């Protein structure tokens, strides 16, 4: 799909719809029902759609609506960072547990 052609097309998506979808993705990430890689892809698509809504949407967005949309997308981005951090902490804990069970000692840091 050509992004430039898509940017000129009107959309029926509303700002409210995008915000509800972004909040749902945040919730699913928190429940670990979706992978952060999928969340990242959804965020990219939501960002593109938000630009379309702002420029060619079915409604003219007020400053408050634009700010609210931006804030919910930022909340999604934060949730993605948190999910990635949680994944790293869990992986590190599994490695430590594995090292302890095999009797390996961690190398001292220089």
Q: Each residue of 28-65: pLDDT tens digit?
A: 999 999 999 999 999 999 999 999 999 988 889 999 99
Among 72, 10, 81, which Cα is nearest to 40's? 81
Looking at residue 8, the DSSP 8-state letter turns out to be T
Q: Sketch the domain layout of the chain as residue ranges.
A: 12-99
Cα–Cα distance measured from residue 61 to residue 65, given in angstroms and rounded to the nearest whole number: 6
pTM across the whole model: 0.76
pLDDT of residue 35: 92
* Tokens 């919730």 sit on residue: 27
Task: Provide DSSP, 27-67.
Answer: HHHHTT-S-HHHHHHHHHHHHHHHHHHHHH-SSPPPHHHHH
């Amino acid at each position: 799909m050509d992004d430039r052609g898509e940017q000129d097309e009107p959309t029926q998506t509303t700002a409210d719809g995008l915000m509800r979808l972004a909040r749902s993705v945040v919730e699913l990430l928190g429940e670990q029902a979706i992978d952060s890689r999928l969340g990242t892809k959804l965020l990219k698509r939501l960002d593109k759609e938000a630009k379309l809504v702002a420029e060619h949407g079915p409604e003219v967005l007020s400053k408050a609506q634009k700010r609210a949309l931006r804030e919910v997308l930022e909340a999604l981005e934060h949730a993605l960072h948190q999910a990635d951090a949680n994944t790293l902490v869990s992986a590190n804990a599994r490695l430590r547990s594995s090292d302890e069970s095999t009797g390996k000692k961690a190398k001292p840091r220089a």
